[in-house]
Structure 1
């Protein structure tokens, strides 16, 4: 077995992931933009978006490249970013 293996039948998520579309990502980007004055909220929503996109790609999204590029648009949103 490799160190990183694709999730197999032996480990199933509690709920199937919600598969995102490019339109979903655009809506989520708008929501992050709307809360950009609250950096903690914007950062949290950005993390949630990135996780959801990764889950969608891992589930086999045929437009993975488009979804990843759309999610990276979070880098163009102007809000304070920091890590504890």
Structure 2
């Protein structure tokens, strides 16, 4: 494959609708902020949020720049981020 193709797979909708709004992201940021003392939980919730925002953008969200900017606010939350 010489170019990246548009995402044609299905998005898992069992946990939450992939079409997030800026308000959904703000709520999720507050939830992450509330558990910031638990680094592992906050990191996992952040990863989940980023995946769901990407899925929303891949599904054609018209406000993609706003959603991406909102999700990047996770970088302002103070908790340890590490990978094994």
**Smaller-chain TM-score range?**
0.7 to 0.9
RMSD of aligned Cα (Å): 1.9
TM-score, with length taken from structure 2: 0.87
Structure 1 unaligned spans of 5+: none
Aligned equivalent of 1:71: 71
Give CA-to-partner distance per residue, 1:15-69, whole Å, 9 cap, x none.
Answer: 4852000000000000000000000000000000000000000000000000000
Taking the aligned partners of 2:25 and 2:11, their CA distance within structure 1 comes to 22
4+ residue stretches of structure 1 with deviation over 2 A? Answer: 1-4, 11-18
> Cα distance, 1:12 vs. partner?
3.6
Number of aligned residues: 82
Aligned equivalent of 2:60: 60
Distance 1:75 1:3, change over 3 A: same
Distance 1:83 1:14, change over 3 A: closer
